[in-house]
Structure 1
Amino acid sequence: MRESVFKTLFQWDFQKDEDLTEIAKQHISSLEDEKLREQAYCYIEGIKRTIESLDEIISKYLQNWTLDRLSVTDRNILRLGTYELLYVEDVPIEVTLDEMIELGKTYGTENSGKFINGVLDRIAKGEAPKEKFDM
């Protein structure tokens, strides 16, 4: 599910004039499980609604980088991870970090996993709801 959401965000980053929901249909429709498709669409709608806030938060925690200097892969994994850390109540922080690191290792450079882990860890410590630390 996260991989489909990531692929949607990745493609949207290149086609900002296209509707994110329309792009999502291409990637999410391939998910066999209906619950996962619904969850993926919820993520897409949530990210679409909060994209400016997500980008501001990510930018705040980047060290010696700007959002526009990041690779498209890393930028969109960070958006997905930040959204999940801040707005998805039932996913523990460790799960989000592990899943985003794996996406980074799969789709990014050899350093993406470590970079994503460092940024998301700082975001989690500084921004995640207190309840997520007790999961």
Structure 2
Amino acid sequence: MTGPNKSRRKMREIVFSAIYQFDFTEDVETSSAYLERELSFFAMDMEMKLMTRKYFENILRRREEIDGIIRKHLMNWTFDRLASTDRNVLRLGTYEIVYESAVPIEVTLNEAIDIAKKYGSEQGGKFVNGVLDRIARECAPVAKKDL
């Protein structure tokens, strides 16, 4: 993968890792510093760095709302039992499905599945796909369904 798709993948992975860290520390300052450190390691244009920060800040700001959406769409599972990896991939995917109108649903699903597999397990990828698919069907803006 090269070009903008590789940058977007890296952006999502950095956001995922920063919100994953926040899940443990509950400290915005520490997680923000981690995000900035991660951004310094990769050659990203300014627009992609700004998007990374925007995703991170918006996910933290809307965390309760995002978690509520996830809770509502879990089947035979509770939010508290989710592996931290899966929980944070679901947060990232839910945010993108619900709030990022220019990103096609299929792109979000594919990226979330790949991140879940990379940092979690094969089963995590399947689980994330099922939950995000239900969220997309019920919560995605109508205009997104035509992208």
Q: Which runs of 4+ in 1 moved over 4 A?
A: none
Which deviates further from its counterpart, 91-100 or 15-24?
15-24
**Which residue number corresponds to residue 94 of structure 1?**
106
CA-to-partner distance for each residue in 1:73-104, whole Å, 9 max, x for gaps?
00000000000001111100000000000001
Q: Given the alignment of the two structures, is residue 14 of structure 1 paired with residue 32 of structure 2, yes or no? A: no
Q: Given the alignment of the two structures, is residue 81 of structure 1 paired with residue 93 of structure 2, yes or no? A: yes
Say if 1:5 and 1:27, in contact at 8 Å, map to a contact too: no
**Which residue number corresponds to residue 71 of structure 1?**
83
* Percentage of identical aligned residues: 49
Name the CA distance, whole Å, in 1 between partners of 2:131 and 2:20. Answer: 19
Say if 2:19 and 2:60, in contact at 8 Å, map to a contact too: no
Name the CA distance, whole Å, in 1 between partners of 2:36 and 2:80. Answer: 26
**Cα root mean square deviation, aligned:** 1.2
Name the CA distance, whole Å, in 2 between partners of 1:82 and 1:22. Answer: 24
Name the CA distance, whole Å, in 1 between partners of 2:65 and 2:13. Answer: 22
Deviation at 1:18, TM superposition (A): 4.4
Give 1:116's match in structure 2, choosing from 116, 123, 128.
128
CA-to-partner distance for each residue in 1:19-43, whole Å, 9 max, x for gaps?
3433322223323212211110010
Q: Secondary structure at the match of 1:111?
A: helix
Matched AA of 2:66:
L
CA-to-partner distance for each residue in 1:27-63, whole Å, 9 max, x for gaps?
2332321221111001011111100000000000001
User: Relative to structure 1, is the Cα distance of residues 66 and 128 closer, same or farther in structure 2, using a 3 angstrom cutoff?
Assistant: same
Name the CA distance, whole Å, in 2 between partners of 1:71 and 1:123. Answer: 19
TM-score of the aligned structures, taking structure 2 as reference length: 0.87
**Which residue number corresponds to residue 52 of structure 1?**
64
Deviation at 1:14, TM superposition (A): 1.0
Deviation at 1:9, TM superposition (A): 0.9
How many correspondences in the alignment?
135
Name the CA distance, whole Å, in 1 between partners of 2:100 and 2:92. Answer: 11
